[in-house]
């Protein structure tokens, strides 16, 4: 009657011996700095993706306000870390950016009309020249405004006398045109297309509403 207990004890002893005889796993080698940086980038990208998903659930007006606040806080942080924490300087740059965005609305609106016309079937397409000319004229107006506004900004914060500040504003595309040549050609165009998307959606919604109005 005692044999089963002895047999179990024997098995336990054997398996315990096997388990203790197994070599311990070697500790994982420490991460290199490159691997750590890659992990940080991946984590930042995951957080950014989550932010985008959460942001899309917010009503459009509130979403735009939040996005603007995120962009403003990001720029303030960048300027502060670069050694330019002065509130007046940061406000002047933010005002400049806002004015630039407003000056580009006409170019975005006319550009969206060009895109819409390009989407027409060839046999139904109308002459694109007039709206394309309107678009180019709007771009030239925005360029002139940008040049004048850049001079005014320099007079206010004297970035031309501060090489570090001028470099930051340039590399971020806030002033000058150098940033356009830093990114890939198609990426620059795709960012422009993204800016025109709201106008295309408004035009599509207006087009869909027309039959309903007639009924």
**How far is CA 94 from each of CA 21, 51, 83, 159, rounded to the nearest angstrom?**
67, 23, 17, 14
Window from 3-12, 58-67, 84-93, 127-136 with minimum mean pLDDT: 3-12
**How far is CA 75 from each of CA 6, 67, 72, 158, 168, rounded to the nearest angstrom?**
75, 12, 5, 18, 11
Distance, CA of 57 to CA of 61 (rounded, Å) = 12
- DSSP letter at 22 equals S
Q: What is the length of the chain?
A: 215
Alpha helices in 104-179 (DSSP H): 105-118, 129-157, 163-171
User: With the C-alpha atoms ordered 150, 151, 155, 156, is the resulting torsion angle positive or negative?
Assistant: negative
Distance, CA of 29 to CA of 19 (rounded, Å) = 24
Interval 104-133: pLDDT, tens: 899 989 998 888 888 777 666 678 889 999
Interval 31-80: pLDDT, tens: 788 887 778 777 877 776 676 667 667 676 777 777 788 888 889 999 99
Task: For the full predicted model, state whether its pTM sits above 0.75.
Answer: no
């Amino acid at each position: 009657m005692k044999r089963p207990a002895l047999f179990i004890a024997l098995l336990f002893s054997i398996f315990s011996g096997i388990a203790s005889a197994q070599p311990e796993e070697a500790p994982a080698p420490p991460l290199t700095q490159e691997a750590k940086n890659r992990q940080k980038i991946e984590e930042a990208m995951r957080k950014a993706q989550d932010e985008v998903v959460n942001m899309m659930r917010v009503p459009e007006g509130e979403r735009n306000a939040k996005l603007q606040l995120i962009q403003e806080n990001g720029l303030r942080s960048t300027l502060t870390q670069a050694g330019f924490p002065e509130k007046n300087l940061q406000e002047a740059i933010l005002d400049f950016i806002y004015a630039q965005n407003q000056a580009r609305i006409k170019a975005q609106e006319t550009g969206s009309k060009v895109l819409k016309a390009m989407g027409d079937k060839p046999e139904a397409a109308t002459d694109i020249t007039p709206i394309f000319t309107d678009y180019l004229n709007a771009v030239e107006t925005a360029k002139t405004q940008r040049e004048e506004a850049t001079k005014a900004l320099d007079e206010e914060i004297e970035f031309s006398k501060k090489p570090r500040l001028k470099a930051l504003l340039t590399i971020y595309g806030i002033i000058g045109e150098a940033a356009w040549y830093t990114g890939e050609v198609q990426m620059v165009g795709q960012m422009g297309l993204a800016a025109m998307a709201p106008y295309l959606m408004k035009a599509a919604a207006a087009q869909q509403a027309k039959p309903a109005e007639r009924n």
